[in-house]
Amino acid sequence: MAHTIVIFGASGDLTSRKLIPALYQLHRKGRLPADTRVVGFSRTEFTHEAWREQLTETTREFAGKDFDETKWKEFSQAIFYQPGDIGRGEDFDALAKTLNELEGGQPTARVYYLSTAPQFYAEATARLGAAGLAEESHGGRRIIIEKPFGTDLASAQKLNAAVHQVFAERQVYRIDHYLGKETVQNLLVLRFANAIFEPIWNRNYIDHVQITAAEEVAVGRRGGYYDHAGVLRDMFQNHLLQLLMVTAMEAPVRRTADAIRDEKVKVLQAIRPLTPEEVARATLRGQYRGYLEEPGVAADSETATFAVVKLGVDNWRWQGVPFYLRSGKWMSCRTTQIVIQFRQPPFMMFEDGKVVGHEANRLVIQVQPAEGIQLHLQTKVPDAGMKMRLTDLDFRFDRSFAGVMPEAYERLLLDAINGDASLFARSDEVELAWGIIDPIHQAWKETRHPAMLTYEPGLWGPTESTDWMEAEGRSWFDTCPVLR
Ligand code: BG6
């Protein structure tokens, strides 16, 4: 069957940086179904040709050495443009007409991609419904919705209700690009295609889990958006909780979208939202020095650019194992990593039976960059009595596999085209995630505890975060990944 991908917000950054390059790569690799076309919709007046020309330049830049003139020419012939305003019903009627003409009345599956400003998601969905564009008699109709999905639980519920007025849940694909990363999918493979990890993947062997998404970049030009969002909405509600779910979930009974998402949802259900007193003790918030001078940021802003959140997953597997989630802008380096910190050996026959001073085993899942896995273990230092040192067994994707890691959007777009929603968030998942994040925001605002900390750019967040972790009896794994 033919496919049409309609991108709303076509003149935006995401389209030229990520979506078109990803679709082009899929075409280049021969993965797009034959007879796939792309139609852009936004307010800017472009002809088909003018939009193609602009995309030629941006794709050349973002696809880098994979840009092949001949392949791009083939692909760009299937790119079209329809100017229109989300606020105008007649523009959706015009879009419907254009789509029917392009599709020549043939049965065609359509994917609508909402990449507009988030305040237009509900309206765009309603107008798709009103123009008959969600109707499935001529092929499947799916809708991909970019993040953020709401700004809190109430707005996410409202948006879910608006979307469900027009599309059934099976047609809705809420994107979280972290799930499209190879290393995140590999975590499922690591856990559920190897028999050696599952037996120890629980409270009996694991002391705690650290999930860190550190960014080297500052807020920069995104101040207007970021100052309303802050690190909890921008990174925790979606990406960090997704990583937590994939780390903590039970093995799904089969590899179907709902079986996988059922297990993920159970993890969120097992996380008890924090009370204001717990928020004061179990979270940290910080702002990098200089944030208030960023363009678009309020001079007296109390938006956190760094946070730590300690969560517990109250079930048989994880009871008593803290999950430390941490993310921030303008930190030491760019690294997203999941650290599974195992317990100390119960008895040490070396060093007089004492367990002091020893770092216990650690599994480091390096999500990005330097994608791979390291298992840290104690090794005897040669020719030094029974002295030991933590060394590692190391797997790196780039050493074991030729070729570059694909962009997350390639996998996600292809899955949506093929109707596989496994790597997309379901409505209950999104709402449960907000149910965990909202009480933290609320407590920060109302009780003002913990106090906002300031950190110097280029560090691992506020220095108080190191002390806080020490008071927990643990230490952060503050290591930048080694890039070749
Ligand atoms: C986005 C956030 O969702 O994820 C950004 O809005 C953040 O603030 C980005 O920089 C991080 O994505 P990645 O793939 O670079 O880790």
- Write the residue with the smallest CA distance to atom 14 of ligand 1: 178
End-to-end CA separation in angstroms for the chain: 44
Laid out side by side, the sheet with 108-114 consists of 79-83, 36-42, 2-8, 108-114, 141-145, 172-174
Residue 385's pLDDT band (boundaries 50, 70, 90)? Answer: confident
Question: Does residue 209 register a pLDDT over 70?
Answer: yes
- The predicted structure's pLDDT at residue 271: 98
Helices 48-63 and 20-28 pack at an angle, to 10 degrees, of 80
Please tell me whether residues 211 and 128 are part of one structural domain: no
The mean pLDDT of 462-483, rounded to a whole number, is 95
Task: Output the average pLDDT for the chain.
Answer: 96
Residue 353 alpha carbon to ligand 1 centre in Å: 46
316, pLDDT greater than 60: yes
Q: Is-cis flag, bond preceding 439, omega within 30?
A: no
Confidence of residue 140 (pLDDT cuts 50, 70, 90): very high
Q: How is residue 313 annotated by DSSP?
A: B
* Confidence band, pLDDT 50/70/90 cuts, at residue 430: very high
* Band of pLDDT at residue 458, cut at 50, 70 and 90: very high
CATH code, domain carrying 247: 3.30.360.10
Gap from CA of 115 to ligand 1 centroid (Å): 15
Residue 368 CA, closest ligand 1 atom number: 16
Q: What is the pLDDT of residue 484?
A: 67
CB of 478 within 6 A of ligand 1: the answer is no
Residues 122 and 209 in one domain: no
Residue 133: predicted pLDDT: 98
Tell whether 129 and 244 lie within a shared domain: no
**What is the C-alpha separation between 49 and 45, in angstroms, rounded?**
12
Whether residue 298 lies inside any domain: the answer is yes
CA-nearest residue, atom 5 of ligand 1: 234
Which of 146, 183, 234 is the best mutation target for the ligand 1 pocket, counting ligand atoms within 8 Å of the beta carbon and taking the most?
234
Residue 354 reports pLDDT greater than 80: no
Identify the domain containing residue 41 by its residue range. 2-146
Does residue 9 lie in a domain region? Answer: yes
Tell me the mean pLDDT in the region 459-464. 97
Beta-sheet pairing, 362-368 with 372-380:
antiparallel
Asked if residue 46 and residue 188 are part of one domain, the reply reads no
Q: Is the pLDDT confidence value at 358 over 80? A: no
How does pLDDT run across 194-203, given as a tens digit for each residue?
A: 999 999 999 9
**Average pLDDT score over residue span 449-471:** 98
Q: Is 407 in the pocket of ligand 1 (CB under 6 A)?
A: no
In the predicted structure, residue 355 carries a pLDDT above the cut 60: no
Q: Does some domain include residue 477?
A: no
Atom of ligand 1 nearest to the CA of 215: 10
The pairing of strands 306-312 and 322-328 is: antiparallel
The SS3 call for residue 327 is strand
User: Quick check: is 479 in a domain?
Assistant: no
371 lines ligand 1 (CB under 6 A): no
pLDDT at 350: 79
> Per the domain annotation, does 167 fall within a domain?
no
What is the per-residue pLDDT across 31-62, written as a single tens digit (0 to 9) for each? 999 999 999 999 999 999 999 999 999 999 99
pLDDT, position 349: 80
Using the mean position of ligand 1's atoms as its centre, give its distance from the Cα of residue 221 in Å: 14
Asked whether residue 296 is assigned to any structural domain, the reply reads: yes
pLDDT digits (tens, 9 = 90+) for 238-255: 999 999 999 999 999 999
State residue 482's pLDDT score. 85
- Which of 17, 18, 176, 177 should be mutated for ligand 1, with most atoms under 8 A from CB? 177
18 lies in some domain: yes
- C-alpha angle 192-198-199 in degrees, rounded to nearest 5: 155
Give the end of a domain, one of 103, 128, 146.
Answer: 146
pLDDT value of position 403 = 82
* 200 and 114 part of one domain: no
Residues with active-site annotation: 239
Q: Is 160 part of a structural domain of the chain? A: no
| Residue 242 sits in the same domain as residue 347 | yes
pLDDT at 353 over 70: no
Domain co-membership, 250 together with 195: yes
Say yes or no to pLDDT of 387 above 90: no
Q: How far is the CA of 253 from the centre of ligand 1 (A)?
A: 31
Q: Is 417 exposed, middle or buried (0-12, 13-18, 19+ CB in 10 A)?
A: buried
Give the H or E element holding residue 225: helix 223-231
Split at pLDDT 50, 70, 90, the class of 386 is confident
Report which residue type is found at 444.
Answer: W
Same domain? For 206 and 119 the reply is no
Give the single-character DSSP code of 17.
I
Predicted local distance difference test score (pLDDT) of residue 483 = 76
Q: Whose CA is nearest to atom 6 of ligand 1?
A: 234
**146, 164, 198 - which closes a domain:** 146
Atom of ligand 1 nearest to the CA of 336: 16
Q: Does any ligand 1 atom lie closer than 6 A to the CB of residue 234?
A: yes
Do residues 371 and 275 both lie within one domain?
Answer: yes
DSSP letters spanning 387-412: -EEEEEEEEEHHHHS-SPPPPHHHHH
Is the per-residue pLDDT at 356 higher than 70? no
Backbone angles phi, psi at 480, to 5 degrees: -80, 140
Number of domain units in the chain: 2
pLDDT at residue 461 is higher than 90:
yes
In the predicted structure, residue 388 carries a pLDDT above the cut 60: yes
Q: Is 429 in the pocket of ligand 1 (CB under 6 A)?
A: no
176 lines ligand 1 (CB under 6 A): no
Confidence at 377, pLDDT banded by 50, 70, 90: very high
Whether residues 34 and 95 share a domain: the answer is: yes
Q: What is the pLDDT of residue 24?
A: 98
What tokens does 386 get?
């029974």
pLDDT grade for 475, boundaries at 50, 70 and 90: very high
Do 133 and 187 lie in one domain? The reply is: no
Question: Is the same domain home to 187 and 92?
Answer: no
Check residue 116 and give its pLDDT: 96
Confidence band for 357, pLDDT divided at 50, 70 and 90: low
Q: Is 146 in the pocket of ligand 1 (CB under 6 A)?
A: no
pLDDT of residue 404: 81
Mean pLDDT of 223-240: 97
Q: What is the CATH number of the domain that holds 62?
A: 3.40.50.720
Over residues 405-424, mean pLDDT: 97
Ligand 1 centroid vs 367 CA: distance in angstroms?
13
User: What pLDDT shows up at residue 56?
Assistant: 98
